[in-house]
Structure 1
Amino acid sequence: MALSGMRGLSVFISEIRNCQNKELERLRVDKELGNIRTKFKNEKLTPYEKKKYVWKMLYIFMLGYDVDFGHMEAVSLISAPKYPEKQVGYLVTSCLLNENHDFLRLAINTVRNDIIGRNETFQCLALTLVGNIGGREFAESLAPDVQKLLISSSCRPLVRKKAALCLLRLFRKNPDVVNVDGWSDRMTQLLDERNLGVLTSSMSLFVALVSNNHEAYWSCLPKCVKILERLAKSQDVPQEYTYYGIPSPWLQVKTMRALQYFPTVEDPNTRRALFEVLQRILMGTDVVKNVNKNNASHAVLFEAIALVMHLDAEKEMMSQCVALLGKFIAVREPNIRYLGLENMTRMLMVTDVQDIIKSHQAQIITSLKDPDISIRRRALDLLYGMCDVSNAKDIVEELLQYLATADFTMREELALKAAILAEKFAPDLSWYVDVILQLIDKAGDFVSDDIWFRVVQFVTNNEDLQPYAALKAREYLDKPAIHETMMKVSAYLLGEYSHLLARRPGCSPKEIFSIIHEKLPTVSTPTISILLSTYAKILMHSQPPDPELQNQIWAIFSKYETCIDAEIQQRAVEYFALSRKGAALMDILAEMPRFPERESSLIKKAEDTEADTAELSAIKLRSQQQQASNALVVTDQRPANGPPQLTQLPMVKIPSTNNLENNSIDQEITHANGIVGEVEPQPQSAAHSRAPDSDILGDLLSPLAIEGPPGVSGNEVLSEENALALAPVGDQENSIKPMGDIAERFHALCLKDSGVLYEDPYVQIGIKADWRGHQGRLVLFLGNKTTSSLDSVQAIILSPSHLKLEISLVPEIVPPRAQVQCPLEVLNIRPSRDVAVLDFRYKFGTSLVENKLRLPAVLNKFFQPIPISAEEFFPQWRSLAAPPLKLQEVVKGVRPMSLGEMANLLNSWRLIVCPGLDPNASNLVATTTFYSETTQAMLCLVRIETDPADRTQLRMTVASGDPTLTFELKEFIKEQLISVPTAFTPPVLQPTIPPTATSDPGALLAGLL
């Protein structure tokens, strides 16, 4: 298409907008690009003609298409003598080229000529280009010329403003190239500028300079105070720089931020003047109805409060700040409440105002119930920081009450902080025990093992507390349903101290055993190990034993002597043998000794964080928050040489996390010195032998309860020594072999929400996920299993088009024995079976390891199984009568399975089987609701007709209100039925569909099909 004048560009834009779909748009763009390429290649164009085609290239680029030619023509327009062509050249070059592009070198001389020339318009164009690109070559060649423009008295303010911002970009990108030595006098001169535009741009540059080296700019400090005085008194402030009656709020904020980089203000006159300005700001700020004025005034106010805290002002001014923040946390506007809570938390660094902050405790507790989760989090942080002995009871009780209704995303943090406060400020130890047991009862899933380990330490070290703790544990066992963590702590306490309750009703050894044993069928394998230890302790404390009780416990030991789990089997065998020793059992299984007194690791972590924060001024804290990665690094603090552990008698196996450290509950075995001579050591294979520190990875990956590699029992994971034995550091190969089948791990995680995604001798990657509607939140746990750092760590998400995934930054170095937690947000846009891939790589020594791992953000994660009745099902089934909303296919090559297995398989994919809807006992009907951003909540209907004579084939019908969803769901089920991983086949249950069904709805379904 021949183009004439700029009308051609308008016509081209109109044609693009009128395209019916993306394909037609692409065809039109490709045609135009071909035309432009031909023009550039075969014709000698004038600057004006170049301008036309370069405009079109820019528009095509803005539409999202690659423009991989014509860059030379765009750069050449920079040297055009007329403004229209030069403007296009500068604009398109800054958009299409980055700082490393070779063509930019061709333009450096032209850009420099424009900067040092007399034409102010050309100077502005050149400065804008340099400021936008900010390359190293630009900095080396042009920084001195830009500096001269900035301090030139002959340049207009417009040019000097752009020069200041251009120099700021060059300095930020290349601080080693831009020479600012001796700039103190020049900055002092610039801060005397009367033009507020130039002054604001210069202040931005000054903030960057002073953040890099404040020592060189002490002479500028009084100038900053004078600027604040000028603005506070509205002296010589033009109307165009007054925003809703506030004199240049941007300049005020930048100036106060610059002052926070100086340690203090020593000159008494300067300090007095500064505090007068701050006092004026504090007194003159209030909440008004105009949102824009609020935003500006509060930006100034909160920066002023940060400066007040930084300067450690008098208590009266601090109190005034707290009073203002107290008003803000009570207003209706959520943004203001959030800022008020956040700044009040920062005020906690000032000890003199903590009592004043406590006066707002009721309002802060009210904020804990705010609809906005961000405000709730800030309120929690503030309550945690302001708690002390005087208000600990009230705050902890409020946190416990709030725990029942808190978001799942907050409960873990909430439980941890409540536990720390209860321990740190407990008025008496019985109250502490009450709080922790309530915490476990209300938030068992979110209570880490560290918390109940700490209860064990307290009770063990305080004899007066032992009867009370045992009695409370006995009371909780009376509940019909308790969390497994409560079962662990109760069983442990009663095993150790139930004999102290023997005279109380319902607390005889036989009754204690009976109520604990009732819960045995409901607990997991690790808890069974603790219960066996409890039974042995009860038997020991009841010497001489009650024959009936003894026979009951012996029967349990005998039953578990053949258990498939090695740890339970070993405990049962050895306890059975030990329990026949009679009175000698009292010495063998004596009570736990006192733990060495040491500070709680939870409190130590909290105090370390507080100490680090107290050393930071508000400006440094903000800078740190901006630069820090979102990944959380948890490092194992135990000494490398842990206590030896008895191979013959592992007893109560509790991970030696930071709380218990070397004095873990395995000290229960320290009395077993007599055991070694009395119990035959059981022969063990190398695969089951224990090494010191065998729990190191269990500690690192404790949030997941991840299983270990093949050859290690369920309660163990590879020790550092075992890992290095598998791959000696001296003889490493370039390719590190993964441990276990990666495909099987992926398929397992498609059916459950936590587990191991990948493991090799040096790294273990675990996943914990939470799925709600069309959104999901995954946490990747990257665990370093070695005593050396992992370098060059990268975790990049390769996302399919139907998923939107955002992962937090991953640090390049993972410390020894550390775990990195990387949150990953998932948004499902539309139905698809494509899978996201984690491109994970790291370097250990000279070995570079790289793996591409499929992430279990698959189709069935966005299902929600909701059972529906026949009255709801059949109208939907009738309305979805024909393709593409209803698809049917005969599937062959299905792995043979019973009807019950197939029903369980569908349930594991979050498809709920609906019995009674089909009259044929060989058929299954299932439903689910699929969530995505495009389909919203959409009902899916599935019917599977099986052939009893040939289990390798079936006929499947799938229906939904979206054609793509119908097809993807059909293919998904088909793929799963043909290639079901045997290792992860769900257990066989009784068929959920009755053998006969004569209901009319079922007959109706058969008729419809």
Structure 2
Amino acid sequence: MALSGMRGLSVFISDVRNCQNKEQERLRVDKELGNIRTRFKNEKGLTPYEKKKYVWKMLYIYMLGYDVDFGHMESVSLISAPKYPEKQVGYIVTSCLLNENHDFLRLAINTVRNDIIGRNETFQCLALTMVGNIGGREFAESLAPDVQKLLMSSSCRPLVRKKAALCLLRLYRKNPDVVNVDGWSDRMAQLLDERDLGVLTSVMSLLVALVSNNHDAYWSCLPKCVKILERLARNQDVPQEYTYYGIPSPWLQVKTMRALQYFPAIEDPNIRRSLFEVLQRILMGTDVVKNVNKNNASHAVLFEALALVMHLDAEKEMMSQCVALLGKFIAVREPNIRYLGLENMTRMLMVADVQDIIKRHQSQIITSLKDPDISIRRRALDLLYGMCDVTNAKDIVEELLQYLNTADFAMREELALKAAILAEKFAPDLSWYVDVILQLIDKAGDFVSDDIWFRVVQFVTNNEDLQPYAAAKAKEYMDKPAIHETMVKVSAYLLGEYSHLLARRAGCSPKEIFTIIHEKLPTVSTATVSILLSTYAKVMMHTQPPDPELQDHIWAIFNKYESCIDIEIQQRAVEYFALSRKGAALMDILAEMPKFPERQSSLLKKAEDTEVDTAEQSAIKLRAQQQMSNALVVTDQRSSNGSLPVGQFGLVKMPSIGSNADANAADQGLAHANGTLSTVDPQPATPSADLIGNLLDPLAIEGPPEAAFSDQKNVVPGLEGVLDALALAPVGEQSNSVQPIENIAERFDALCLKDSGVLYEDPYIQIGTKAEWRAHHGRLVLFLGNKNTSPLVSVKALILPPAHLKTELSLVPETIPPRAQVQCPLEIVNLRPSRDLAVLDFSYKFGTIVVNAKLRLPAVLNKFLQPISLAAEEFFPQWRSLSGPPLKLQEVVRGVRPLSLTEMSNLFNSFHIMVAPGLDPNPNNLVASTTFFSESTRAMLCLLRVETDPSDRTQLRMTVASGEPTLTFELKEFIKEQLISIPTPTPALSPAPTLALAQAQPVSPTTSVTDPGAMLAGLL
């Protein structure tokens, strides 16, 4: 029963609160929802006041966690009410109940715009607040100009202008195109002259977003930001209401310093001096006080100032002052301040030479290892690891070993790894290193990976002077009644190899060695039994003259394990028994292990894999926990033009890459030669200037198919015939009644230069992609959208990766519901340099129609490049150090598409190869650099020089250099393929005799496609 007046809402809230259990609450809510639904059916009899009351109830029910799937139209309709109370309710409830893609929001755009451009400031604030909360791309395109006018208007009150700034920030995040870079630089500089701190704070939030995307356009804002900091630091013209515990507008100070961190180093000496004076004032004026709120505000400003000092690469004196200040913070009782102090000290180590100063606080940092808060203990461990060197390695490693006894299980594996790395990097002598590793295994065997004991074996094997000492220490540990199995492994191995040295020097007999090892046999797993059998054979081999009793005992063990169910143990037992009867020849057969070749430490490599910025790591984990690990099905409304929106493209948790990824590796030459192998007829290509077209065009291979497969690698068993058939069949002959919408190759070419867009579309399905690339890892999400009112069935997707990529695709559902979207995360790891491509083998069934398409995935070589800017003093030493083939390759490239130097620079920059103007004294030459990432090379610097001929732009000389031969070759060929492209078809160029891809005949490039606006509504 509806109650008159707003009293009905109060009574309903009281009824819900008085419910004894969840079931009673649900019944009361269902009753109220039924009543509201009934009243809304008779909407003609509802007054705006009654509608407002019921909408409030709906909002309260929604806040309780119940689904409210009706009444949205009534909420939106209240926005157009002429009176403030109803309009306020309409805006608030609409903001809470609807998301930016809801169809009903389109109905309100005109009303919202009328409120924004009207003269009622209250209505303007309501409209700006709602748009700032839920505004999507449609709002951005429709309302951004009006919001910009409000922001720049001198007649509007500050209250409206600061809401306009935050609203524009939201619209910019949804669609950066709404802010024209050329026009807004001067406007932003003008807005920074604002005296009202409320408007200034909102404008600074907008500036942070703008400069994070393009700092070059906003250099004029930099001196204004410094002036703002000066004004706040001196507390000039700061109203009392913007002073927080005596600190002038700490929020504005933090945002201003954050904006400054997006600009490169400041060159102007006056601006730099003024800024450092402000930072000095902040550093000197911050201390720990009893008031928690004041501490929070002052330390927020201080730590942002420290980040800016590190960014500006200040003089060592200021850096020392920062470290001294942080030293005070890591000694206070407040855990949050200690945490921030330790974290910022760690960052300080990475950007400045302050290691000696930080060492003064070593005892306090070690004390933090025993803090009750595990996050503080982790930061202390990171800092100790970073500050360790030869002078303090012994002290730090010994502290870590002591801490192992009481450390949390969650930290012990990381602790053991870092202690082992420090012992290896900074060991004063190798015997100390052996002691540390054996202590480590003894105290935390469960958390010591095999890499650690493998590494100590390598050191002992390669250093003859260390072998007797290592054998003696191994015997000491084996004498203990109970030791960890990892200790049994390493000790048994060392005694098997070097126990004869121990017998000579310490008078320890082989029988005694055998006895202490054999006592551990019943307690170990099958993997360790294999090592023990090898040790027995070695001990018997070193026993000269032979001991018949010992020999019989060992033979009995071999006989026992000859019938073992474990194949590895059985084979060892049989072979060792047979070999042991060879007599003197056994000495040659079971000779000591040779020295290991010098190689990168697997421990250091493992540490590099796990070193991620702690704050970023935490954010990644948090986002990952909020997402589903497998395919996510999202129902979606059709947009106004009939196509299916791709949605939000939010971060999706990617599955971890399993060991079976390599088992799916398909023919490396397939993607390289055939590109898009689709059973759907592609549309005919149309001319354009897209340079990437020829590299990946399936029709660009001339000559016999085997030429394109000259670098063929391993093929998945059972797929050879399929792949060969696909490779030999021209794309045009694989016809199907279903035609793709727009050219597939053009879509692929566009995705090679950007990270999101449409990969494939036909009348029934749309496949979009959004990718995120970081170093040698890639996270790509496939968005499979059903465009019809009937389901798509028998959906299958398989990744055919080349040998250099490791991929794992999450489970793809067999059915895509009507007008729904499936999100399928794909994890990609780049193992080594290569230009070959991964292929998505995709098929589905719609009614009686079966569609199959093989689509190239845009995981191309340039996705694993990151541009790097090098000054002349950095570039030329590197260039000279890489002398001659195979690290430096040079080639004269003919048949180049005529490009101006500016066009060529833009082409290189689009592929993440940064051109450095002015480095080469010849104005007709280009010099560029980039960094390539793969699992095998890690971060590898690549250098490029292009010498052009002004009289003949169709030829040039190109030199590419890197520290890895394969990378140099692949990058050279990759760049060459971008340059060999001409605007109209001509006879084939003479093929290079040694390169299959040089046989590619230039064809008409394809046009780049502008993706449909509705499809990309949530994508770009």
The TM-score by the shorter chain falls in which range? 0.5 to 0.7
Distance between the aligned counterparts of 1:345 and 1:272, measured in 2? 26
Give the C-alpha shift of residue 725 in structure 1.
3.2
Distance change in 2, residues 1:790/1:302 (3 Å): same
| Equivalence for 1:715 | none
Give the C-alpha shift of residue 457 in structure 1.
0.7
Distance between the aligned counterparts of 1:225 and 1:505, measured in 2? 73
Give the C-alpha shift of residue 21 in structure 1.
2.1
Q: Is the 1:188–1:219 contact (alpha carbons within 8 Å) kept by the matching residues of 2?
A: yes
| Equivalence for 1:713 | none
1:793 to 800, 804, 810: 810
Establish whether residue 23 from structure 1 lines up as the match of residue 23 from structure 2: yes
Give the C-alpha shift of residue 545 in structure 1.
1.3
| Equivalence for 1:98 | 99
Give the C-alpha shift of residue 138 in structure 1.
0.4
Give the C-alpha shift of residue 811 in structure 1.
6.7
Q: Is the 1:190–1:199 contact (alpha carbons within 8 Å) kept by the matching residues of 2?
A: yes
Where do 1:982-997 residues align within 5 Å? Answer: none
Q: Is the 1:412–1:446 contact (alpha carbons within 8 Å) kept by the matching residues of 2?
A: yes
Distance between the aligned counterparts of 2:503 and 2:199, measured in 1? 84
Establish whether residue 293 from structure 1 lines up as the match of residue 297 from structure 2: no
Scaled by the length of structure 2, what TM-score is found? 0.63
Distance change in 2, residues 1:392/1:514 (3 Å): same
SS at match of 1:57: helix
Distance between the aligned counterparts of 1:452 and 1:104, measured in 2? 63
Where do 1:324-335 residues align within 5 Å? Answer: 324-335=325-336
Distance between the aligned counterparts of 1:534 and 1:425, measured in 2? 31
Distance between the aligned counterparts of 2:391 and 2:825, measured in 1? 41
| Equivalence for 1:245 | 246
2:717 to 710, 719, 725: 725
Letter in 2 for 1:42: N
Distance between the aligned counterparts of 2:125 and 2:465, measured in 1? 80
| Equivalence for 2:157 | 156
Give the C-alpha shift of residue 786 in structure 1.
8.1
Distance between the aligned counterparts of 2:63 and 2:273, measured in 1? 53
Give the C-alpha shift of residue 544 in structure 1.
3.4
Where do 1:661-740 residues align within 5 Å? Answer: 724-725=716-717, 730=722
Alignment length, in residue pairs? 677
Distance change in 2, residues 1:279/1:238 (3 Å): same
Establish whether residue 815 from structure 1 lines up as the match of residue 815 from structure 2: no
Q: Is the 2:441–2:484 contact (alpha carbons within 8 Å) kept by the matching residues of 1?
A: yes
- For residues 839-862 of structure 1, give each alpha carbon's deviation from its aligned partner in whole angstroms, at most 9, with x where no partner exists: xxx9974489xxxxxxxxxxxxxx
| Equivalence for 1:387 | 388
| Equivalence for 1:885 | none
Distance change in 2, residues 1:348/1:729 (3 Å): farther
Distance between the aligned counterparts of 1:729 and 1:390, measured in 2? 62
Root mean square deviation, CA, Å: 3.1
| Equivalence for 1:681 | none
Distance between the aligned counterparts of 2:321 and 2:656, measured in 1? 38
Distance between the aligned counterparts of 2:722 and 2:239, measured in 1? 72
| Equivalence for 1:135 | 136
| Equivalence for 2:913 | none
| Equivalence for 1:3 | 3
Of the structure 1 ranges 143-152 and 537-546, higher mean CA displacement relative to structure 2 is found in 537-546
Establish whether residue 322 from structure 1 lines up as the match of residue 290 from structure 2: no
- For residues 674-724 of structure 1, give each alpha carbon's deviation from its aligned partner in whole angstroms, at most 9, with x where no partner exists: xxxxxxxxxxxxxxxxxxxxxxxxxxxxxxxxxxxxxxxxxxxxxxx9994
Distance change in 2, residues 1:28/1:731 (3 Å): farther
Distance change in 2, residues 1:626/1:317 (3 Å): farther
| Equivalence for 1:219 | 220
Letter in 1 for 2:810: V
- For residues 543-586 of structure 1, give each alpha carbon's deviation from its aligned partner in whole angstroms, at most 9, with x where no partner exists: 43110110000000001001111110111001000100000111
Query: What residue ranges of structure 1 are gaps of 5+ in the alignment?
Result: 641-720, 733-783, 797-808, 819-841, 849-1009
Give the C-alpha shift of residue 4 in structure 1.
1.2
Where do 1:928-967 residues align within 5 Å? Answer: none
- For residues 81-114 of structure 1, give each alpha carbon's deviation from its aligned partner in whole angstroms, at most 9, with x where no partner exists: 1101111111111111111110111000000000
Where do 1:398-547 residues align within 5 Å? Answer: 398-505=399-506, 507-547=508-548
Distance between the aligned counterparts of 1:162 and 1:729, measured in 2? 64
| Sequence identity (%) | 84
Q: Is the 2:468–2:498 contact (alpha carbons within 8 Å) kept by the matching residues of 1?
A: yes
Distance change in 2, residues 1:413/1:178 (3 Å): same
SS at match of 2:350: coil
Distance between the aligned counterparts of 2:67 and 2:372, measured in 1? 44
Bigger RCO (CA 8 Å, 6+ sep):
2
| Equivalence for 1:601 | 602
Distance between the aligned counterparts of 1:631 and 1:459, measured in 2? 41
Of the structure 1 ranges 342-351 and 157-166, higher mean CA displacement relative to structure 2 is found in 342-351
Distance change in 2, residues 1:726/1:386 (3 Å): farther
Give the C-alpha shift of residue 55 in structure 1.
1.4
Q: Is the 1:790–1:843 contact (alpha carbons within 8 Å) kept by the matching residues of 2?
A: no
SS at match of 1:502: helix
Distance change in 2, residues 1:146/1:246 (3 Å): same
Distance between the aligned counterparts of 2:110 and 2:621, measured in 1? 40
Distance between the aligned counterparts of 1:436 and 1:843, measured in 2? 46
Distance between the aligned counterparts of 1:627 and 1:435, measured in 2? 38
Distance change in 2, residues 1:604/1:24 (3 Å): closer
Give the C-alpha shift of residue 604 in structure 1.
4.0
| Equivalence for 2:851 | none
Give the C-alpha shift of residue 134 in structure 1.
1.9
Scaled by the length of structure 1, what TM-score is found? 0.64
Give the C-alpha shift of residue 621 in structure 1.
10
Establish whether residue 280 from structure 1 lines up as the match of residue 272 from structure 2: no
Give the C-alpha shift of residue 350 in structure 1.
3.5
Where do 1:355-394 residues align within 5 Å? Answer: 355-394=356-395
Give the C-alpha shift of residue 52 in structure 1.
1.6
Of the structure 1 ranges 247-256 and 20-29, higher mean CA displacement relative to structure 2 is found in 20-29
Letter in 2 for 1:484: E
Distance change in 2, residues 1:535/1:601 (3 Å): same
- For residues 817-836 of structure 1, give each alpha carbon's deviation from its aligned partner in whole angstroms, at most 9, with x where no partner exists: 89xxxxxxxxxxxxxxxxxx
Where do 1:967-1006 residues align within 5 Å? Answer: none
Give the C-alpha shift of residue 810 in structure 1.
11
Distance between the aligned counterparts of 2:349 and 2:589, measured in 1? 52
Distance change in 2, residues 1:99/1:639 (3 Å): closer
Q: Is the 2:388–2:396 contact (alpha carbons within 8 Å) kept by the matching residues of 1?
A: yes
Distance between the aligned counterparts of 1:621 and 1:527, measured in 2? 36
Q: Is the 1:789–1:844 contact (alpha carbons within 8 Å) kept by the matching residues of 2?
A: no
Distance between the aligned counterparts of 1:622 and 1:152, measured in 2? 42
Give the C-alpha shift of residue 169 in structure 1.
1.0
Query: What residue ranges of structure 2 are gaps of 5+ in the alignment?
Result: 625-650, 664-712, 725-800, 814-822, 833-837, 845-1020
Give the C-alpha shift of residue 280 in structure 1.
0.3
| Equivalence for 1:396 | 397
Distance change in 2, residues 1:462/1:791 (3 Å): closer
SS at match of 2:390: coil
| Equivalence for 1:712 | none
Q: Is the 1:170–1:178 contact (alpha carbons within 8 Å) kept by the matching residues of 2?
A: no
- For residues 726-779 of structure 1, give each alpha carbon's deviation from its aligned partner in whole angstroms, at most 9, with x where no partner exists: 7779489xxxxxxxxxxxxxxxxxxxxxxxxxxxxxxxxxxxxxxxxxxxxxxx
Give the C-alpha shift of residue 13 in structure 1.
1.7
Q: Is the 1:367–1:375 contact (alpha carbons within 8 Å) kept by the matching residues of 2?
A: yes
Distance between the aligned counterparts of 2:181 and 2:486, measured in 1? 61
| Equivalence for 1:579 | 580
Q: Is the 1:496–1:591 contact (alpha carbons within 8 Å) kept by the matching residues of 2?
A: yes
Where do 1:102-251 residues align within 5 Å? Answer: 102-251=103-252
| Equivalence for 1:14 | 14
Q: Is the 2:654–2:827 contact (alpha carbons within 8 Å) kept by the matching residues of 1?
A: no
Where do 1:345-364 residues align within 5 Å? Answer: 345-364=346-365
Q: Is the 2:655–2:827 contact (alpha carbons within 8 Å) kept by the matching residues of 1?
A: no
Establish whether residue 42 from structure 1 lines up as the match of residue 46 from structure 2: no
Give the C-alpha shift of residue 144 in structure 1.
1.0
| Equivalence for 2:777 | none
